[in-house]
Structure 1
Amino acid sequence: MKHLINTKALTVVVLSALMLGVLFCYILLSYRGVELFKQNNINQQNGLAADDVIPVSHEFHLVAPDHLRYEQPSILRGRTDVVTVTPWLAPVVWEGTFNQVLLDSIYKPKNITVSATVFAVGKYIMFLKDFLETAEQHFFVGFKVHIYVFTDRPNEAPQVRMAAGRQLTVRSVPSSKRWQEISARRMELIQTLIEEQLPNRSDDYVFCLDVDSKFHGRWGAESLDGLVAVIHPGYYKDGRSRFPYERRPASRAYLAPGEGDFYYCGGAFGGLLQEVHHLAKTCRSNFEADAQEGIEAAWQEESHLNRYMWINKPTKVLSPEYLWQDFKPQNPEVHIIRFSGVVKNYAEIRPNARESAAD
């Protein structure tokens, strides 16, 4: 009789445990479902589809050569005139915040390839020679580099001698009567290039750069990270209320008053292939959805990029050293100009610039 009672008691305990386990799984799944529902609602409010959540950033394993000698780093001395880290703890890269010898010794053995896209449509072809020649002098020197030029004038692409391990590919694209369309099409072409041409390697990078610019100083391994943005030189001292974000709620590039971290350049951004692909795909989708509703964001792809970077924080932010403007005097906190937009007459090089100015 005692044995029978113990057996019944054990059965009750086991069944109770099973019921509790089932209840726990039900509660857990319900909670995850609610959280997913909430996240989907947030994504929809932010103009993102449910599958538009940025993937987890690539994990870096940084190995320095044994016996490498370089100046001892300090956590007590450094740049005090500028901010060198964002509120979400992404580095902000300025001259004096990194050791280029150390970084090159870490990244060059990785055998990575750095691609760059540049658009030379219409009269913008006139800037390509300076861009390519100065890139040979300063852009990832000593790395494998592949520059993709998109142009409607492939026969006018200059012949530039490139160092070993560096190559140039010219891709034909249609011309356009509106510079806004040229600007907006960039995201589509970047997405397609990554999907169809760039090798599926998780440790390769791509940067998207303006052709009407030239390099003046090193742009190298210090700029590598998952998702990389460049602070616009025209607004880095301003409050967010002065940023030229898209302010119409009907647009998917919309940023409300009180939103936004910095104003980022549309003329320089990059990162790991999969991160830039996701950015380009999302911005293209949002731009096309806007277009179907008769909306064009204030600054085309730059507006959509700033919206994207507000939700998907860049993992590294490059200071205005990485896209200065030649017509601006060099401010004291800018110790070096690495890449800069050249002085130009937009009325001469943009197909509908006079029309746009009249509007």
Structure 2
Amino acid sequence: MTLSPWLAPIVWDGTYNLDILNEQFHRRGVRIGLTVFVIRKYKIFIQNFLQSAETFFMTGHKVSYYVFTDDINAIPNISLGEGRSLEVLKVTGYKRWQDITMRRMQLIRDLISERVINEVDYIVCLDADLEFKDSIGVEILGDVVGVIHPGFLAESRQAFTHERRDISAGYIPNDEGDFYYTGCFFGGAVEKIYKLTNHCHDAMMQDKAINIEALWHDESYLNRYFLYHKPTKLLSPEYAWNDYYGSPIVVKRKRLVHVPKDTNKVRD
């Protein structure tokens, strides 16, 4: 598919002309923000993340990295390209990895409202355990952007691992859901991502008030948001590949890849 049922483009290799897009975005002087969370043991991923981003992410454009961390000393001092900057933001490192991942929505929302709304035009929110393997440019930019999870590309909606308890603010019925979106990558126009993160944070707080958490935490709330607030652009699994999900035959270019890891150890 290259077009969603609501006529949003689905970005695959070969569906766009990057030269034309670059010219358009350069004329507008677009500024791009990138957020990443480096909490507890996830510090082992950050150097590779940043170095690969400098090679492949938004080459030739203005980029501001916003690195949230509980250990400022863990963030490497890497050489940045022209027009690119990096800011380290100190945050609390929670004991439960679920609390860490869910608090992202609140922290991104607050960062946008306090200052980033005046610093960047678009913001991309990524997990730290990702590595850029191929070029990712302005073809990913849009008002609200979601990424199709590689493990559910060809699955029916009944196979999607949505939150199915109707008491949860992340609830999606069995017969609803357009795609299953990964929580490791979302983005869009900065004011739109403020609305997204605020909505997801509020949903988490609703569930917390009745002492429940959605099945896949922030990813579940993100999927619920996208069901009723459709993304204006979708990215194919080229942009969130995982070697133990999906068919590599379908996805020929793997631009952003999950680094192999022992999940139990890094989340401990």
User: How does 1:309-348 map onto structure 2 within 5 Å?
Assistant: 309-328=226-245, 331-348=248-265
SS of equivalent to 1:324: coil
Structure-2 residue corresponding to 1:224: 141
Q: Structure 2 vs 1, CA of residues 329 and 291 (structure 1 numbering), >3 Å: closer, same or farther?
A: closer
Correspondence for 2:118: 200
Distance 1:328 1:219 in 2: 21
Identify the match of residue 308 of structure 1 among 225, 242, 246. 225
**Which residue identity lines up with residue 97 of structure 2 in the other structure?**
W
TM-score, length basis structure 1: 0.73
Contact 2:152–2:246 (CA under 8 A) maintained in structure 1: no
Q: 1:161 aligns with which of 79, 83, 101?
A: 79
Contact 2:58 2:138 in 1 (8 A): yes
Shift of 1:211: 0.5
Deviation at 1:177, TM superposition (A): 1.1
Q: Provide the C-alpha distance between the structure 1 equivalents of 2:181 and 2:259, rounded to a whole number of angstroms.
A: 18
**Structure 2, unaligned runs of 5 or more:** none
Which residue, out of 269, 274, 292, partners 2:191? 274
Q: Which amino acid aligns with 1:301?
A: D
8 A contact 1:84–1:91 mirrored in 2: yes
**Aligned mates of 2:187, 2:264 — CA distance in 1:** 29
Partner of 1:114: 32
Give 2:204's aligned residue. Answer: 287
Give the Cα separation in 1 of the matches to 2:247 and 2:63: 29
Stretches of 4+ aligned residues off by more than 6 angstroms: none
- Aligned match of 2:43 in 125, 148, 159? 125
Q: Distance in 1 between matches of 2:103 and 2:168?
A: 17
CA distance in 2, matches of 1:220, 1:130: 19
CA distance in 1, matches of 2:237, 2:212: 30
d(CA) in 2 for partners of 1:342 and 1:329?
16
Q: Which residue of 1 aligns with 2:108?
A: 190
1:287 & 1:347 partners in 2: Cα distance?
24
Query: 1:331 Cα shift?
Result: 1.8
- State the distance in 2 between where 1:345 and 1:317 align: 29
Task: Work out the CA distance in 2 between the residues paired with 1:93 and 1:292.
Answer: 38
1:73-130 alpha-carbon deviations (Å, 9 max, x no partner): xxxxxxxxxx100010000000011111111111112111100100010000100001
Q: Equivalent residue for 1:209?
A: 126
Return the structure number with greater relative CO, CA threshold 8 A, min gap 6.
2
SS in 1 for 2:152: coil
CA distance in 2, matches of 1:316, 1:258: 23
1:91 aligns with 9
Task: Quote the Cα distance in structure 1 between the aligned partners of 2:94 and 2:179.
Answer: 31
Q: 3-state SS of the aligned residue for 2:118?
A: coil
3-state SS of 1:325 partner: coil
CA distance in 1, matches of 2:84, 2:118: 19
Percent identity over paired residues: 43
Q: Which residue of structure 2 aligns with residue 140 of structure 1?
A: 58
Q: CA deviation at 1:197?
A: 2.0
Distance across 1 between alignment mates of 2:246 and 2:117: 41
Q: CA deviation at 1:329?
A: 7.4
Quick one: distance in 2 between partners of 1:341 and 1:172?
Answer: 25
Which ranges of structure 1 fall in alignment gaps of 5 or more residues? 1-82, 352-359
Cα distance in 2 for residues equivalent to 1:313 and 1:86:
10
Shift of 1:348: 1.1
Using the TM superposition, give the Cα deviation of residue 326 of structure 1 relative to its aligned residue in structure 2, in angstroms.
Answer: 3.4
- In structure 2, how many angstroms separate the alpha carbons of the residues matched to 1:304 and 1:329? 23
The 1-side partners of 2:246 and 2:165 are apart by 33
3-state SS, counterpart of residue 79 of structure 2: coil
Question: Structure 2: which amino acid aligns with 1:146?
Answer: S
Q: How many residues align?
A: 268
**Structure with bigger gyration radius:** 1
Q: 1:329 to 1:314 in 2, by over 3 A?
A: closer
Q: Does 1:236 align with 2:142?
A: no
SS of the equivalent of 2:192 reads helix
Amino acid at match of 1:258: D
- TM-score (structure 2 length as normaliser): 0.97
Letter in 2 for 1:105: E
Instruction: State the shift of 1:199 in Å.
Output: 3.6
